[in-house]
Amino acid sequence: MSGPHDPQEWLQRARSNLTRARHRIQGVYLEDLCFDAQQAAEKALKALLISLGVRFPRTHDLASLLTLIERSGLSIPEAVLEAAALTEYAVQTRYPGFSEPVTEEEYRFAVRVAEEVVGWVEALLKTNPGRIE
């Protein structure tokens, strides 16, 4: 199964965003790299929700996605719960003047959290590549 209902495809997209978030390139804003970190976490969480058979709204709000996962009965590690903080990178920081510039520390935090989320989802989907019950 490939396409919008394939959790592995969503996870591949998450990995792609994470790879971009990790690579500092001269002239690229930290805000853009944090957006990629947020997208990596978002797509990984959506991959997990698809594998759980849980419908989710079109949203960038990672807290709401985490809540849906918790309601499904999965226990979420503390490091993954920190992903809720990445939501601000989905919109506000992408445009000039809507927020303070992202700091180096905030950037490193965003990438670390995205790595935690993607790694957690990868481990869950590796042990249950189809549908998680």
pLDDT digits 0-9 by tens, 9-37: 999 999 999 999 999 999 999 999 999 99
Position 92 scores a pLDDT of 72
pTM of the predicted structure, to 2 decimals: 0.91
Task: Compute the distance between CA of residue 130 and CA of residue 18 in angstroms, rounded to an integer.
Answer: 23
- List domains and CATH numbers for the chain: 7-127 (1.20.120.330)
Position 100 scores a pLDDT of 85
Residue 92 DSSP class:
G
pLDDT digits (tens, 9 = 90+) for 48-65: 999 999 999 898 999 999
pLDDT band for 95, please (50, 70, 90 cuts): low
Task: Identify the CA nearest to 82 among candidates 108, 112, 44.
Answer: 112
Q: Return the number of other C-beta atoms located less than 10 Å from residue 61's C-beta.
A: 13
Position 94 scores a pLDDT of 65
SS3 28: coil
Question: Looking at 58-67, 93-102, 110-119, which range is the least confident one?
Answer: 93-102
- The full DSSP string for 4-51 is TT-HHHHHHHHHHHHHHHH---TT--HHHHHHHHHHHHHHHHHHHHHH
pLDDT band for 1, please (50, 70, 90 cuts): very low
